[in-house]
Amino acid sequence: MTPTIVDDIETSREGSTLIVRFARPAKKNALTIAMYERLNTVLAEAAADRTVRAVVFGSTSETFTAGNDLADFMQNPPSGSDSPVFRFIMGLASFEKPLIAAVDGKAIGLGLTMLLHCDFVYATERASLVAPFVNLGLVPEAASSLLLPKLIGHARAAEVLLLGEPVSAQQAFSWGLVSAIVTPDQLMPRALQTAQKLAERAPTAVKLSKALMKDTGLVKERMQQEGAHFVSQLQSPEVAEAIGAFFEKRKPDFSQF
């Protein structure tokens, strides 16, 4: 299948695998509302297409994604569970088929939290994972406040979520956030190799096994809690200060709060 790009999201097929790439390299693959809408459409179509056995997420450049495009995000802030960004993370949590991520370069914000919903994560040595939510006056998303401490422990999760400290590929691998570290030229081949192995397994058994490994009900409940706080914080003076500092290229001053 010839790659198709719609709203900076590239899709292609490799046999029974759907490949979805962030394709906005000039902006380090920062995510816009239009990109989320396209991702929602792509996931819905993949869920309904019985010929799709797995979905691989990647990028067309040496950055996985810089997270939300802040200018676009603040012009179109999420206001509830029906917002494109919240529908996307809910869609990831409820997606029945295997999800595989091929991470090169920086994975910021949702670039990190979406990995918690992927069944396999492959990364290059230059990959770096960052959750900058508190630094922006916001709270974690995509049930990361639940899933990350469960996966790597509270102390390590605090470094990631409360300090916004970047996680190197080696750290991510040692903590169990990443399945394997590969060279850039082997990144997509490794992801596709795993997808092909999955395609050779009984599809219903794969779906049921994935579902049994996840507590989707608790995850969705936490997403709703996070979402309410996230929307509330967007209206806060802390976020106003953080966003202003970002565009003015200075360090935010939270001492007044």
* pLDDT given for residue 76 in this prediction: 87
- Cα separation of 125 and 203, whole Å? 32
The arithmetic mean of pLDDT across residues 210-220, rounded, is: 95
* pLDDT given for residue 245 in this prediction: 95
Specify the length of the chain in residues.
Answer: 257
* pLDDT given for residue 4 in this prediction: 97
pLDDT digits (tens, 9 = 90+) for 16-67: 999 999 999 999 999 999 999 999 999 999 999 999 999 999 999 999 999 9
pLDDT digits (tens, 9 = 90+) for 191-206: 999 999 999 999 999 9
Q: Which residue, chain included where needed, has tokens 């198709």? A: 4
Q: What is the pTM of this model?
A: 0.96
Domain 4-184 is of which CATH architecture? Alpha-Beta Complex (3.90)
Encode 195-252 in three state secondary structure.
Answer: HHHHHCCCHHHHHHHHHHHCCHHHHHHHHHHHHHHHHHHHCCHHHHHHHHHHHHCCCC
Cβ-in-10-Å burial (0-12, 13-18, 19+) of 96 comes to middle
pLDDT digits (tens, 9 = 90+) for 74-97: 898 998 889 999 999 999 999 999
Q: What are the residue boundaries of the structural domains of the chain, listed by start?
A: 4-184
Average pLDDT, the chain: 96
162 token code pair: 């409360």
pLDDT at 177 over 80: yes
* pLDDT given for residue 81 in this prediction: 84
pLDDT digits (tens, 9 = 90+) for 140-159: 999 999 999 999 999 999 99
Element (H, E) at 36: helix 33-48
